[in-house]
Amino acid sequence: MISPTNLKIAFSHLTTRIKQVLVATLSVTFGISMYIFMNGFMTGVNDVQTELAFSTLAHIHIYNDLPQDRSSLITNYLPEGSATLVNIRNPKIIQYTEGIKNAEQVMNSIGHLDDITQVTAQVNINVFFRNGATKINGLLSGINATEEDALFGTSGSIIEGSWYALDNRSDGMIIGVGLAKKLSLGMHDNVVVSTADGVSRNFKIIGIIETTLASVDNSKAYIRISSARQLVSENRSYATDIQIKIKVFNQATKVASKLAPLVDFKVESWDEANGQLEAGNELRDIIAIAVSLTILLVAGFGIYNIMNMTVNEKIKEIAILKAMGFNGRDIIEIFLVQSIITGLLGGLIGMVFGTLVSLTVNNIPFEVATLKTLPMAYRPSDYFSAFGFGLLTTFIAGYLPAKKASEVDPVEIIRG
């Protein structure tokens, strides 16, 4: 316990040096407020980017991973440098089974896992969209509208028509806004879709979608999954992709490893396929923490200088206190209390000021993609971390001068 006498002396020092205490407090306030703001802003940016990415990206993706080299595999079985003579006349490309023929069976085999919240099948086809003389290459996605919306929340991006109308019309199509403009199409217009195998079919535009993602808006359209299967002449259980949503997206790799033994196809987590997204998030977090801690360290040096100056100014008083019977521990307590009080005041004010700065930035208009204002996150962990780091910095900055003061020899100081 700190003695009442030491507390009184510490408060006396603080009240006689209002300007220095104010400067030290403001240093901590600025450091903590910037820590809260920087981490909140970077987290907000990461959250927005993740939300945009997962509007079209599943947590786990199952598909038929065909080999890149589809030529004859005979030579691949020969050891390197083999002297065996192989003569292949008129080699043929091996026909591999594309897509997933038993999608319903695969979905049923994994649907019981507690980690999974939603599973949906897709039939994705590279096609040509044609309206009159205009022909554009794009992606046609056959989907179940209800399951697709549960997984990606796609219905919120519809700007004309209804997303769920897709389940009621075999000839209905929802088209990206950019693709619709390129083809000069509007609601209830007809568009011809042609596959690589030469199959063509007419569809009617029953909805227009705008996701702000160029890959969707400028080249993608949606139809009912049964219509897509008919277009490629496949069975009722056929799918090119199975998309999975899990409870915690950061656990995708772990869940994917559980699924892999249950299916005969490629199971790929989002971070495996999109490492740049995770790397970008981590880099932004590192930058935010590095900048914030640097500011706090600068504030700590400011407090150290102020406390060091105080020790030099009060050197004779310290000598008198030690001559009166105060020991080194008492001297450390006196100066350490001053530093901790400065840290507490600066920390509390800094958290309030940091919140005000964050709220102000959060209300700045920023009309980009789906954003209306600059993104900001308010995590309690940021506040606890900022306050803890600030208090630790001020403690160290106060302890070093206090330790120096405790080692003062009163006889030498009084003698001059």
144-187 residue pLDDT tens: 999 999 999 889 889 999 999 998 889 999 999 999 999 999 99
Q: Over the Cα atoms of the chain, what is R_g?
A: 34
Query: Which stretch of 53-57, 117-121, 208-212, 217-221 has the lowest confidence by average pLDDT?
Result: 53-57
Q: What is the pLDDT of residue 410?
A: 74
Predicted confidence (pLDDT) at residue 93 exceeds the cutoff of 60: no
Predicted confidence (pLDDT) at residue 347 exceeds the cutoff of 70: yes
DSSP single-letter state for residue 85:
-
10 or 238: which leads in pLDDT: 238
Give the side-chain half-sphere CA count within 13 A for 196: 7
Predicted confidence (pLDDT) at residue 390 exceeds the cutoff of 90: no
Q: Where are the beta strands (DSSP E) in 210-362?
A: 220-224, 241-246, 266-269
Phi and psi at residue 133, to the nearest 5°: -85, -10
Q: What is the pLDDT of residue 126?
A: 94
What residues does 130 pair with on adjacent strands?
A: 135, 192
pLDDT per residue over 241-299, tens digit each? 999 999 988 888 899 998 988 888 899 988 887 767 777 777 877 887 787 778 777 77
> Are the C-beta atoms of 63 and 100 separated by less than 8 Å?
yes
Query: Which stretch of 35-49, 133-147, 184-198, 287-301 has the lowest confidence by average pLDDT?
Result: 287-301
Query: Which stretch of 217-221, 311-315, 317-321, 412-416 has the lowest confidence by average pLDDT?
Result: 412-416
Which pLDDT band, with edges at 50, 70 and 90, does 87 fall under? Answer: low
DSSP secondary structure letters along 120-165: EEEEEEEEEEEETTEEEEEEEEEE-HHHHHHHH-GGGGEEEE-GGG
Element (H, E) at 313: helix 275-313
Q: What is the pLDDT of residue 42?
A: 85
DSSP single-letter state for residue 251:
G
What residues does 119 pair with on adjacent strands?
A: 244
Q: What is the pLDDT of residue 77?
A: 52
DSSP single-letter state for residue 203:
E
Give the side-chain half-sphere CA count within 13 A for 67: 10
The Cα–Cα gap between 339 and 329 comes to 15
> Are the C-beta atoms of 10 and 338 separated by less than 8 Å?
yes
Alpha carbon dihedral 30, 33, 38, 44, in 10-degree steps, equals -160
401 or 96: which leads in pLDDT: 401
Which pLDDT band, with edges at 50, 70 and 90, does 81 fall under? Answer: low
What does the angle CA 52 – CA 54 – CA 60 come to, to the nearest 5 degrees? Answer: 165
The Cα–Cα gap between 387 and 96 comes to 60
The Cα–Cα gap between 338 and 340 comes to 6
